[in-house]
Amino acid sequence: MNFHTIFNHSLTPKQKQDAINSFGVTEFVQLPESLQTLWSNIPPDLNDISTYLDPLKKYLQKVIKLNDIVLVQGDFGATCQIATFVKSLGAKAVYATTKRDVVEIKKGDKIEKKSIFEHVKFREY
C-alpha cells in the first residue's frame, strides 16, 4: 500500500514507522517537485483556488489506487478540497497529530520560548 504525502515537510522516521505499523504501508510517494512547489505556494489572494489545484487533482487521479493513504496538510482551504477529492478516489485522507512541548530559555533579561512538536498518530479526515 502506498502512502502519498501532500505536505510541506518531510516525514520523520517516527511518522514513517507509524504509517507502516498503522496502515501496512510498503511505499512512500512524494509529490513531483513542480506539484510540491504548487502546494507550498498557494496564493493567499485568490478567491477560488479550485482551478489552481487542478494540476494536483489530475496527478492524483493518475497515481492514487484504491485504499492508498494520502497525508494532506497545508493551506486550510486547499487541504479541505484535496482531502475530499482523495476520498472520492477511494483512498484514505489523513493528517498528522502532534504533541507540543514548550521550553523556556532564559537569556539575560529575556525569556525565549521554543516549541517542540512530536508526532503522535495519523487521524483520518
- State how many domains the chain has: 1
**What does the chain look like in DSSP terms, one character per residue?**
-EEEEESSSPPPHHHHHHHHHHH---EEEEPPHHHHHHHHT--TT-S--TTTTHHHHHHHHHH--TT-EEEE-SSHHHHHHHHHHHHHTTPEEEEEEEEEEEEEEEETTEEEEEEEEEEEEEEE-
Question: Model pTM?
Answer: 0.88
Range of the domain at 101: 2-124
pLDDT, one tens digit for every residue, the chain (125 residues): 999 999 999 999 999 999 999 999 999 999 999 999 999 999 999 999 999 999 999 999 999 999 999 999 999 999 999 999 999 999 999 999 999 898 888 889 999 888 888 999 999 99
Distance between CA atoms of residues 34 and 57, nearest Å: 13
